[in-house]
Amino acid sequence: MAEYIKSNYIIEEKVYIKGIPTIIFKPKEAKEPIPTIVFYHGWSSSKESQRLRGFILASVGYLVAIPDGIYHGERNPLSNYGMEEAKDYFWDVIFKNIEEFGVIKEELVSKYKGDPNRIAVMGSSMGGFTAGGIFAQNTIIKSLIVFNGCCWWENFNKNIEVKPTEKYERIRNEVKNLDPMNHLDRLVNRPILLLHGDSDTLVPVESQRIFYNKLNSIYEDKEKLKLIEYPGLNHFVTTNMMEESINWLGKYL
């Protein structure tokens, strides 16, 4: 791992939670139990690549955990992360992240004094898909923030050309089963912030727009659901996105 970020206020620790390589940031002076964020990286990225974001979130008072997804970081990384590899492994990473969330959450609560009633999930790109799926499956989670991801999985998946195989059919069925769009009843009136470049060529914003509009139509408190599009922005997380996220967490976590 790269040199630790030096701080008199934040403890950074690399740990293994049930074998899952994870970086944890904990404010030294935070009042316990601590509001908690689990942050998921994108395709071809790793926990180390998200360290600065973890540090920023911890610096405003949150306990932050950033795990490696399978086939990334320390977990048997691929030699290439092209389109063919994405077709083979992208959804497996997301499904495994969702499966592993429970043990990460329990460790953060039991060992690091995370607040079980104040947990948010965040993610960038593939990590945004992950965060949306976890949020839909865990109604105890208080808030969701997605950078350049997608919460209408089936729509995204149908644009990926894959030869029909037994594995493809398994993935297609699991995508349908876990797709946040198919669980709007579990999402309604919970705080959700969607941040996306309107010129994103890797994960086009259209699916998020449709997801937002459909969900917004059934929200009672419209302030708890927000989609912000950034003109001319491709597939990047910006300083403005981080600022919006911190403001959102201050209000809803």
Q: Where are the domains of the chain?
A: 10-252
Q: Which two tokens stand for residue 115?
A: 């607040």
SS3 category, 46:
coil
Does residue 1 carry a pLDDT above 50? no
Q: Which two tokens stand for residue 37?
A: 């964020």
Does residue 40 carry a pLDDT above 50? yes
Give the dihedral sign, CA 190/224/237/112: negative
Q: Which two tokens stand for residue 181?
A: 């769009």
48-96 per-position pLDDT tens digit: 999 999 999 999 999 999 999 999 999 999 999 998 899 899 999 999 9
CATH fold label, 10-252? Rossmann fold (3.40.50)
87-126 per-position pLDDT tens digit: 899 999 999 999 999 999 999 999 999 999 999 999 999 9
Read off the pLDDT of each residue in 4-17 and give the average, rounded to a whole number.
85
Alpha-carbon distance 155 to 56, whole Å? 33
**Cβ atoms of residues 153 and 179 within 8 Å:** yes
- Provide the pLDDT for residue 5: 62
Q: Which two tokens stand for residue 175?
A: 């995508």
Q: Minimal CA–CA distance to 12: which of 50, 64, 60, 72?
A: 64
**Cβ atoms of residues 141 and 108 within 8 Å:** no
124-169 per-position pLDDT tens digit: 999 999 999 999 999 999 999 999 999 999 999 887 766 677 888 8
Alpha-carbon distance 89 to 70, whole Å? 9
DSSP 199-249: T-SSS-THHHHHHHHHHHTT-SSGGGEEEEEETT--S---HHHHHHHHHHH
The backbone torsions φ and ψ at residue 105, rounded to the nearest 5 degrees and listed phi first, read -60, -45
Alpha-carbon distance 140 to 120, whole Å? 10
* Distance of alpha carbon 17 from the chain centroid: 18
203-245 per-position pLDDT tens digit: 999 999 999 999 999 999 999 999 999 999 999 999 999 999 9
Does residue 14 carry a pLDDT above 70? yes
- Provide the pLDDT for residue 3: 46
Does residue 189 carry a pLDDT above 70? yes
